Structure formats: C-alpha cells, structure tokens
Amino acid sequence: MQQLEILHKRNLFVFYTMSTSLGIYIAAMIIGVFEYRYQYAVPAIISIVLLGIFFYLKTPPNIMRIILMITWNITILSYIFHIQHLATFFWIIFSILMFSIYQSVTVNMVVVLVGCLQVVVLYVCFADVTQTLHNITQMPLFFLLLICTVGVMQTIYVLQTWDKYEDKNLKKEQELAATEGYLRLFFEHADDAMAVFNLNNQIIKVNPAFEKLYGWTRKECIGKSLQLVSPKHVQQAKDRFDRLLKGERFPLLETQDMKKDGTIFDAQISLSPILNQHGDIIAVSVISRDISYIKENERLIVQSEKLKLAGEIAAGVAHEVRNPMTVISGFVQMMNADEQSPYKRYTQLIQSEIERIDLIISEFLVLSRPQVDMCKPINIEQIIIHIADFFTIEAQNRHIDFSIQLNHHDTIINGNENQIKQVFINIIKNAIEAIDCDGKIDIVLHHHDDWLFISIKDTGIGIPPHVLEKIFEPFYTTKSKGTGLGMMITNKIIQEHKGTITINSKENIGTEVVISFPLYKKASLPC
C-alpha cells in the first residue's frame, strides 16, 4: 500500500513536469523561437487532457506509469513529425532524466531504447534537419552516443540509488520488525490489562493480563462488544467512547469496571485513540488496572485517622466528663431515695440519661486502649447464655423467639471477658432492634479445627448494601440516638482477640453475623 502511494506521487510529479515543459514549449513557439502553427499545440493539449482524465478516474499507479510513458513518447514523435526541429532531440534527453524519478532500471532501459529509436526515425525521415549538425559530427552517431551515455549514467545512478534504498529499506524493515517485536512482547507480558477496540466498540485484541483481570478468554471476547463497566457507569462509558472517536484522550481515569462473573472492582483506566499515518482514527486502546487494594488502603487510612481522633477525644472525655457526672449521679440518686420528692419522675429520667452518657464514654474509652488487657480463659457459651438472659424481657415484649444451639465443648477462648460481653451485647441488641415484632433470633455455636464459630441470625429488616459497606466505619450510624461507634468497637475488639467477623444481610429477610475466635490453648500467647 505504501509503495503504491509513493508511485502515485511520482506519477503526479511526472504529469506536472510534462504539463509545465509542454506549456513552455508552446510558449516558445508562440513568441517565435520555433515556427508556430496551431496544430503544433494540439498533441500537447490532448496529452494533458487525457492524462488529467486518467488521474480523475483514479487509474492504478502501475498502469498510470505506463500511460505516462506512452503518452509522453507519442507526444515527442508527434513533434518530430510536425515541427522537424533540432530541439526535438533534447526532448528525448529530457525524457530519460524525467523518468529516472521512478528509480527503476527497467523503466530507464525502456526510455533509452525508445529514445534511440526516435533518433533513428528523426534521422531517416528528416535528413534535411540533421544536416544542420553536419559540421559538429555525424548526426546519428552523436545523438545515439549522447542518449546512450545519458541512459547508462542514469541507469548506474539508479542502480546505486536503488542499492542504497534497498539497504536503507532493509534496515528500516529490521528496525520496524524489532520495534514490533518489542511492542508485541510488551503487550503480551504487561502487568496492566490491555485491549484494542475497533470503531464499532468491538474488541479486536487483548493481552493475557486482560484475560486474567476480567475473566474473559481471548476467544470469547474477540469481535464482540462486552459490558466491561458497572451498570451505573454504562452511559458514562458510551459518552467517553464517542469523545474518543473525536480524538479526545482519557489518561489515568478512575472508574468501576465489571468482570465476567459480575464482580465490580475499582479500576484505573487510560483511553487513547489509535491513528494511522494520515492522522485518521482507526481504533481505540484501553489500558486498565485493578486499584481496589489502593482504595481499601485509603479507606483504612481514613478510618485510622478517625480512630486516632476518637482516642484523643476519649482521653479528654474520660477525665473531664466522668468526674462531674459522678457527682451529679450521686445527687440524683439521693433525690431518687426520697419517696416524697415531687420530681422523682424527672430525677429517674436524669439518672437514665446519665447512664447513657456513661455508656458513650465507655465506648470512647475502648478506642483509647491500644490492645486487649487482662486476658484469661473465658467460656463463650456461658457469656452468651448470660447475655440472652439479659435480653429475655425485651425479647418477650417484642414477641421475639430466642433460640440458642450450644456446642457443649470447645468453647473456651483466651480474652477479656468484659470486652467479649460488649461484643455480643452490641450484636444481639442490634438484632432485637431490627425486628419490629414477631421475629426470631437464632444463635448457633460450633467449632472447626482450632476455631470457634458463633452465628447470630435474625429475621429483621435487614441492612441495605450502602449501609453494610460502611457499618464498621467510626461515627457512621442510621440510628437517631446512636454514636456510630458500636459496630466499629465490636470489630476492633474481635480483631484484638485475633478473631474475625462477617455480616451477610438481605433487606426484608434478615441478617446473619458470624464471629470466629481461635480456641484456647495452654500454650497460647497472651492476647
């Protein structure tokens, strides 16, 4: 394709050169350099018009080159027969020089041969013209030698140029092959997922990293338009693709993509149009990487900063608030002891709010403790039974059925009893609050290998997905009187006891919280 384009440009150059030279020749006749007759100009005009028509019809370059050679030589022969002037000889020399632009030995030899034949024709047919050079040398020998000399020199030049061109072209091909090899190697072994799309948004090429990240094999996705973005970003992706087709680029764009199995992940993508040598867009490249771990680290950093702030607040709250609250609580208790007090209902309410404030302070104090202290072997089974008894009255009032399936063995862990109690109080309290009326809470204990698993399952209203993903964040709550610290503290306590917590929930169906702790061993390290 590239060679044909080069040949087309050379054809145009020859055409323009011919047009210019013939125009100059006609102008010379008009001003009197040669004898002017209107018919002398006819061959040149016809030649230019015909060649223009062939170019307009987009004749293939190879055929056009032959047409140019034939037309040019017919024009020269026409001038030989009509003009019968010595200048015609130099047109033959000019043709050799002009057609050397094709850098073809074959073309050169053909032009030289035709030139020699034209000299012979001129000498045989128009001997009177040739006699004007009688004093210089014998006519045919001079011009034949001249044409052959020019032709040989031009051919040698063409051969040398061609050899240089071949060597240069070979080096370029080798460099290109090496470059393509490097690009192919980079494409196939890149850590980032890469894909190339055509202008119809169909995949035409992917690398192994793409297959690994998105889950689509090369055979499955080539030639297809796949939804690789999350449903809520589909329209944005379409808008970006339209802008890509207009030449716009999108470097390091953060979005959410989707794998073959429907998994949504945070992705960083770079989108660029691919251009050909004419600057036209022929395809679109996409480079993407999974940055979910980066987003998770950012979230953990933010959470850590919040915890740090909460710990600093806790240290001040404990000292500045608890002491005066103790004094206030003492006076309120004295007022409650007076059976004749007309404000007993109000003092009871005050005492209840004081206890709530104390609970909030206790939650903050948990944040200020760097690690679990006062660890000892504790029986989880007994703790759960105790806490269930604590919530029995409230459960009965809400018509909630409590069911506890005990393990009866291997329920001993190493930990802080008060903190473990707080974990189950928070979770069971949330389960009860999630049930308006007539529900059920199932608590199941079982062990596997060296781990104890506690499942707390309710039939409540469930937790929406957008709430569930933030449930362990500090100060995040959907309750009007909540602090947003309960589940965060619960998670913190479990982690400090080397345990895990997972929450599965469906709206209007219920929630299951699964907690795991390593079982107690005598050789266990302190928590």
- Asked if 48 and 19 touch (Cβ cutoff 8 Å), the reply is yes
d(CA 402, CA 389): 10
Q: How far is the C-alpha of 244 from the C-alpha of 238, rounded, in Å? A: 10
Task: Verify that 469 and 383 share a domain, yes or no.
Answer: yes
Lowest model confidence (mean pLDDT) among 49-53, 74-78, 133-137, 229-233:
133-137
- pLDDT (0 to 100) of residue 129: 47
d(CA 477, CA 483): 7
Instruction: Please give the structure tokens belonging to residue 19.
Output: 């047009």
Say if residue 269 is in the same domain as residue 360: no
Contact assessment for residue 417 and residue 376, using Cβ atoms and an 8 Å cutoff: yes
In this structure, the answer to whether residues 498 and 384 fall within a common structural domain is yes
Higher pLDDT, 79 or 466: 466
Does residue 482 sit within a domain? yes
Mean pLDDT for the stretch of residues 96-120: 66
Closest CA to 419 of 373, 457, 388: 373
Nearest-CA neighbor of 514 among 446, 460, 429?
A: 446
Residue 179 is assigned to a structural domain of this protein: no
The overall average pLDDT reported for the chain is 75
Is residue 327 a part of any domain in this protein? Answer: yes
**Exposed / middle / buried, residue 112 (Cβ in 10 Å: 0-12, 13-18, 19+):** buried
Whether 433 and 465 share a structural domain: yes
- pLDDT (0 to 100) of residue 400: 86
| DSSP string across 468-496 | HTTTTSTT--SSTT--S-HHHHHHHHHHH
Inter-residue contact 400 to 388 (CB < 8 Å): no
Amino acid at the residue 308: K
| Residue 492: pLDDT over 70 | yes
CATH number of the structural domain spanning residue 434 = 3.30.565.10
Both tokens of 236, joined, read 């944005």
pLDDT at 422: 82
Torsion angle, alpha carbons of 327, 330, 331, 337, to 10: 180
For residue 180, being part of any structural domain is answered with no
Place of tokens 């469930």: 462
Residue with tokens 């050679």: 69
Six-digit token pair at 353?
């709010």
Q: Is position 233 within any domain?
A: yes
Identify whether residues 410 and 351 lie together within a single domain: no
Boundary of a domain, candidates 290, 305, 333: 290
pLDDT average, residue stretch 202-214: 88
pLDDT score recorded for residue 135? 40
Fill in the DSSP letter of residue 192.
S
Residues 155 and 109: their CA atoms lie apart, in Å, by: 7
User: Does the residue 173 lie in any domain?
Assistant: no
Q: Are residues 68 and 132 in the same domain?
A: yes
- Is the pLDDT reported for residue 515 higher than 90? yes
Q: What is the dihedral of CA 360, 365, 368, 374, to 10 degrees?
A: -140
Q: Distances in Å between the alpha carbon of 173 and those of 167, 170, 477?
A: 10, 5, 66
pLDDT-derived band at 469 (thresholds 50, 70, 90) equals confident
Bridge partners of 413, per DSSP, are 378, 519
Place of tokens 């992940």: 265
- pLDDT score for 455: 92
Residues 156 and 282 in one domain: no
* 3 state SS of 504: strand
Quick check: 1 pLDDT over 60? Answer: no
What does the alpha-carbon distance between residue 317 and residue 325 come to, in Å, rounded to a whole number? 11
Q: What is the pLDDT of residue 299?
A: 72
One domain for residues 466 and 343: no
> pLDDT tens digits, residue range 19-46?
777 777 677 666 766 555 556 667 777 7
Provide the pLDDT for residue 516: 92
The CA-CA-CA angle for residues 362, 365, 366, to 5°, reads: 95
In the chain, the number of structural domains is: 4
User: How far is the C-alpha of 401 from the C-alpha of 445, rounded, in Å?
Assistant: 17
Query: Are 96 and 9 within one domain?
Result: yes
Contact between 267 and 254 under an 8 Å Cβ cutoff? The reply is yes
Asked if residue 152 and residue 88 are part of one domain, the reply reads yes
CA–CA separation, 388 and 392 (whole Å): 6
Give the DSSP letter string of 248-302. Answer: --EEEEEEEEE-TTS-EEEEEEEEEEEE-TTS-EEEEEEEEEE-HHHHHHHHHHH
pLDDT digits (tens, 9 = 90+) for 259-297: 988 888 888 888 888 888 778 888 888 888 888 877 777
**Strands ordered across the beta sheet of 510-518:** 400-405, 439-448, 451-458, 510-518, 500-506
The residues, any chain, with a CB within 8 Å of residue 225's CB and separated by 6 or more, are: 200, 201, 202, 203
Tell me how many degrees the CA angle 496-502-384 measures, rounded to the nearest 5: 70
Quick check: helix, strand or coil at residue 400?
strand
Question: pLDDT tens digits, residue range 364-407?
Answer: 666 555 544 567 888 888 888 888 877 777 788 888 888 888 87
Rounded to an integer, the average pLDDT of 198-219 is: 88
Q: How far is Cα 286 from Cα 19, in angstroms, rounded to an integer?
A: 50
85-89, 344-348, 483-487, 497-501: lowest mean pLDDT where?
A: 85-89
Calpha distance 227→234 (Å, rounded): 8
**Domain identity same for 35 and 116:** yes
177 within domain boundaries: no
Backbone angle region of 199, left / alpha / beta, with phi > 0 → left and psi within -120 to 50 → alpha: alpha
Give the CA count within 13 Å in the CB-facing half-sphere of 18: 31
Judged by average pLDDT, the poorest of 136-140, 249-253, 415-419 is: 136-140
Residue position matching structure tokens 């589940």: 487
Query: Tell me, what DSSP letter sits at residue 50?
Result: H
- Candidate from 83-97, 271-285, 301-315, 451-465 with smallest mean pLDDT: 83-97
Strands (E), 19-83: none
Final residue belonging to a domain, choices 124, 152, 167: 167
| Cβ count near 100 (within 10 Å) | 20
- Local confidence band at 491 (pLDDT 50, 70, 90 cut-offs): confident
Q: Is the pLDDT of residue 133 over 50?
A: no
Output the domain CATH number for residue 263.
Answer: 3.30.450.20
Q: Are residues 22 and 121 in the same domain?
A: yes
The arithmetic mean of pLDDT across residues 305-316, rounded, is: 67
Q: Which of 165-174, 262-271, 440-449, 470-479 has the lowest mean pLDDT?
A: 165-174
Which pLDDT score, from 0 to 100, does residue 93 have?
A: 66
Instruction: Give the global pTM.
Output: 0.42
* Residue 421 near residue 387, CB atoms below 8 Å: yes
Instruction: Pick the last residue of a domain from 368, 399, 432.
Output: 368
d(CA 125, CA 119): 10
pLDDT (0 to 100) of residue 32: 64
Range of the domain at 438: 376-518
CA nearest 390: which of 350, 352, 435, 427? 427
What is the percentage of the chain residues whose pLDDT exceeds 90?
3
Top-confidence residue, 55 or 403:
403
174 part of a folded domain: no
Gap between the Cα atoms of 493 and 499, Å rounded: 9
